């Protein structure tokens, strides 16, 4: 097991290097750099710009800059953000925390609802509840995240029940810790719903079909033939085996979560990575873009690894050697 983990972590390194290479190359294709915009400002002298160019190393050839940057990354120095005037790593740490919080809350929301509903639909299949959940699931899978986020903002603005965006109230700094927590929770509700619904719908269908499949297998029939109650047949015998494959899906959703989160964050002014990335892209803030890409890749890779490890723990048939 440890061997497997170490091997996976090691194999992620060339992958990460490939990702950084590709993204560095892409950013080089961009016309102009961060200083081009500055040079349009008549208040800033060309001498100052030239000086900045040297300080930031923008006068060096591409490969020098890449290697320098890569060497920095190894020492956890992701460079400096031109626009925010702070180290990239600090900026990303703040924002990634917000994205992780949102991802975590919507994952909990989705699984918490999808699993019981999926079981219900499978146990009472072809009943009204099965049909209703199946219709809702199709709608949930199909609704575009951006549209749903806009709808949520619209409802929030019209009713005033929940904040329309952001992570904190303006007076957050002056609140007691308990109020702060409550405030954060209130701000978290809508983004969580919007981001979680697609995942919920997909998961629910999976839980349902997996459970149906398992309920049809021979060992469940045997258990039933021996006279165990339906409840025991479903929860004791079938449930565990039906849930197992879903753990791989958990890893698979992380990629979706990251891209979905970007849209939600932008519409709902959630100060996360996606928003940061978009701002960085439009500002040609190259090291910030690179940093975000690397961090999101690491999140993706470690999410998949986590899923594999969980699967190995929960399913005795799987052995990684």
Partner 1 sequence: MLRKQMADKSIKATAERTSLSPGRLFLRRFSRNRAAVTSAVILAVLYLSALLAGFIAPYAMDRQNRQAPFHQPIGIRWSDESGWSRRPFVHEYHSGKGITGYEKAAGKRYYVRLFVRGDRYKLLGLIPSDRHLFGVDAPGKVYLLGTDRFGRDIFSRVLYGAQISLSIGLVGIVITFFIGLTVGGISGYYGGTVDNLIMRFSELVMAFPSFYLILAIMAVLPTGMASSLRYLLMICVLSFIGWAGMARVIRGMVLSIRERDYVTAARSQGVSDWRIITRHLLPNTVSYVIVAITLSLPGYILGEVALSFLGMGIQEPMASWGNMLQAAQNIRVLTSYPWMLAPGAMIFITVLSFNLLGDGLRDALDPR
Residues that bind partner 1 (CB under 8 A): 15, 18-19, 22-23, 26-27, 29-31, 125-126, 138-139, 141-147, 150-151, 153-154, 157-158, 164-165, 212, 255, 258-259, 262-263, 266-267, 274, 277-278, 281-282, 289, 292-293, 296-297, 299-301, 304
Q: Are 162 and 151 in contact (CB under 8 A)?
A: no
By 3-state DSSP, what share of the chain in percent is helix, strand and coil, each rounded to 5? Answer: 80, 0, 20
Judge whether 73 and 295 are in contact, CB under 8 Å: no
Residue 51 C-beta: closest distance to partner 1, Å: 26
Name the residue nearer to partner 1 (CB basis): 89 or 276.
276
Kindly state the smallest distance separating residue 55's Cβ from partner 1, in Å. 24
Nearer to partner 1, 60 or 134 (CB): 134
Q: Are 289 and 297 in contact (CB under 8 A)?
A: no
Structure-block tokens of residue 173: 């700094």
Exposure string of 59-72, with b = 16+ CB inside 10 Å and e = fewer, is eeeeeebbeebeeb
Question: For residues 98 and 267, which CB has a smaller minimum distance to partner 1 in the complex?
Answer: 267
**Cβ proximity to partner 1, 138 vs 219, nearer residue:** 138
Residues forming beta bridges with residue 97, ordered by sequence position: none
Q: Which one, of 56, 63, 99, 59, lies nearest residue 81 by Cα?
A: 56
* Complex with partner 1: residue 5 or 150, whichever CB lies closer: 150
């Amino acid at each position: 097991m440890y061997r497997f983990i170490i091997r996976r972590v090691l194999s992620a390194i060339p992958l990460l290097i490939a990702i950084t290479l590709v993204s560095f190359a892409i950013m080089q294709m961009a016309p102009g750099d961060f200083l081009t915009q500055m040079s349009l400002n008549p208040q800033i002298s060309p001498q100052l710009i030239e000086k900045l160019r040297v300080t930031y190393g923008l006068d060096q050839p591409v490969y020098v800059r890449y290697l320098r940057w890569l060497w920095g990354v190894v020492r956890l120095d992701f460079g400096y953000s031109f626009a925010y005037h702070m180290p990239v790593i600090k900026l990303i740490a703040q924002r990634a925390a917000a994205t992780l919080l949102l991802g975590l809350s919507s994952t909990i929301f989705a699984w918490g609802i999808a699993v019981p509903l999926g079981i219900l639909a499978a146990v009472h299949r072809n009943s009204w509840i099965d049909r209703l959940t199946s219709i809702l699931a199709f709608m949930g899978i199909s609704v575009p995240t951006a549209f749903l986020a806009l709808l949520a903002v619209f409802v929030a603005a019209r009713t005033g029940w929940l904040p329309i965006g952001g992570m904190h109230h303006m007076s957050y700094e002056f609140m007691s810790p308990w109020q702060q927590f409550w405030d954060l929770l209130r701000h978290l509700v809508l983004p969580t719903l919007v981001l979680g619904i697609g995942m919920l719908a997909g998961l629910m269908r999976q839980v349902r079909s997996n459970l149906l499949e398992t309920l049809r297998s021979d060992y469940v029939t045997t258990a039933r033939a021996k006279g165990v109650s339906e409840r025991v047949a479903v929860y004791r015998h079938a449930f565990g085996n039906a849930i197992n494959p879903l753990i791989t899906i958990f890893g698979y959703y992380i990629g979706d979560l990251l891209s979905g989160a970007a849209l939600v964050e932008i519409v709902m002014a959630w100060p996360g990575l996606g928003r940061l990335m978009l701002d960085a892209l439009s500002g040609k803030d190259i090291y910030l873009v690179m940093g975000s890409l690397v961090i999101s890749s690491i999140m993706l890779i470690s999410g998949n690894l986590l899923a594999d490890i969980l699967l190995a723990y929960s399913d005795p048939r799987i052995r990684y050697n």
